Amino acid sequence: MNSTIVILLFTVFYLALGVPVGVSFILSMASTMLLYPVTNITFIAQNMYTALDSLTLIAIPCFILAGVVMETGGLSRRLIRIANCMVGRFTGGLGLVVVLACLFFGAVSGSAPATVAAIGGIMIPAMVKQGYEKTYSTALVAAAGGLGVIVPPSIPFVIYGCTVGVSIGSLFMAGFIPALVIAVFLMAVHLFIARKEGYTGSSERISFKEFLKVLLDGIWALLMPVIILGGIYGGVFTPTEASVVAVVYGVIVGMFVYKELTLKDLFRVLDENVSFIGAIMFTLAPATILGALFALMGVPEQVSVFLGGISQNKYIILLIINVVLLFVGMIMDSISAIVILAPTLMGALLPFGVDPVHFGIIITVNLAIGFITPPVAANLFVASGLTGIPIEILARKIWPFVLALFLSLIIITMIPEVSLWLPNLLAK
């Protein structure tokens, strides 16, 4: 256990110096090996290579590209129009549109910050124009953007599935109902605030004919998750193949159906995202080895014994794990947190009868809350960049939505069927 503590201390030390996450992991492991030769540098180097030698990991860059391609191709705007036709005329209508649009776009992008950028760029100016406070509008978009990593296809689900060895298709299906639960709680909080602040809906009445026209225009965007998940569960293709299908589908729809994506746009998107994807992979490789190193040291067993000494009730244990994950989400990005912690925690929770798919949803929701809780708070940084509102002001405004996410997390944690009912039903 001493070597584990040293690794963590070295990692915190290097991160505090501003060293990139992936490099921090490598340096922390190398430094620890000098003090506690649990294994050797050759083991670390070889396993860093084999960690990325996985066909399943191709899904990560492909889903990222699919989301960006479809955003550039005009899909986010059409999804917002559909959401606006559905709920825009009710009290607090545009806020409801934000949550619904984030739910729709999350099923395209798989990324929380990407969802905030795509929806916020359109909806924040529209909300301000209709009388919403700018800070509140920005906070709502940042909070609802977390749906991007819960509704499938989700990049954290892919990473969790790869590191823990769980079916990515099952994780995708398990994310549907929790995403709806979170969306309902966010809408409820928004409606309460909208009535208090007097945020009215749009006075424009949409006829059924107009709604049908908008729906038909956006049907290609709505079909993407249907094609991906239907293909996976229908046995037509694997999750990795589905990610490639999503990219090709996005290019075809953007270029030839909506005709808003040009070849120049496509090359620009690839150029802008290649470094981001490279950074994810460079973080993933050493983080995977760190998880393997912890397993070699017997950390999961030690954690399991420690938790068993606190309680034998799995729900009490899960609540304790939630507190830890909420703290981790505040200081660490979701990808690194999943790769480092998921194998260790899942190994420790197996003796308590925790389902790996259920835990995948729990850890993802916890880290989704981390997207809006400083200091990391990636969604707040993206939202701040869109409006110029300081992070600390947004953090004060966003607390009612953080509370909504906490309540959703408790329900998802304490009632496993919320996550497991749909994948179990489809598995029969």
Closest CA to 344 of 402, 386, 291, 286: 291
310 class by beta-carbon count within 10 Å (0-12 exposed, 13-18 middle, 19+ buried): exposed
| 3-state per-residue secondary structure call for the chain | CHHHHHHHHHHHHHHHCCCCHHHHHHHHHHHHHHHCCCCCHHHHHHHHHHHHCCHHHHHHHHHHHHHHHHHHCCHHHHHHHHHHHHHCCCCCHHHHHHHHHHHHHHHHHCCHHHHHHHHHHHHHHHHHHCCCCHHHHHHHHHHHHHHHHCCCCCHHHHHHHHHHCCCHHHHHHHCHHHHHHHHHHHHHHHHHHHHHHCCCCCCCCCCHHHHHHHHHHHHHHHHHHHHHHHHHHCCCCCHHHHHHHHHHHHHHHHHHHCCCCCHHHHHHHHHHHHHHHHHHHHHHHHHHHHHHHHHHCCHHHHHHHHHHHHCCCHHHHHHHHHHHHHHHHHHCCHHHHHHHHHHHHHHHHHHHCCCHHHHHHHHHHHHHHHCCCCCCCHHHHHHHHHHCCCHHHHHHHCHHHHHHHHHHHHHHHHCCHHHHHHHHHHHC
Give Cα 80 to chain centroid, integer Å: 20
Per-residue pLDDT of the chain (428 residues; tens, 9 = 90+): 555 666 666 667 776 777 777 777 778 777 777 777 777 777 777 777 776 777 777 777 888 788 788 778 887 788 888 888 887 777 788 889 899 888 888 877 778 888 888 888 888 988 888 889 999 999 999 999 999 899 888 888 988 998 888 988 899 999 999 999 999 999 999 999 999 888 877 666 677 888 889 888 889 888 887 888 788 777 788 888 888 888 898 899 989 998 888 989 888 888 877 777 777 777 777 777 777 777 777 777 777 777 888 888 899 999 999 998 998 888 777 777 888 788 888 888 888 899 999 999 999 999 899 889 887 788 888 888 888 898 889 988 999 999 999 999 999 999 999 999 998 887 76
Is the dihedral angle over the CA atoms 106, 108, 114, 120 positive or is it negative?
negative
Distance CA 86, CA 107 (A): 18
287: Cβ contacts below 8 Å, ≥ 6 apart: 21, 22, 25, 335, 336, 339, 340
Distance CA 19, CA 25 (A): 10
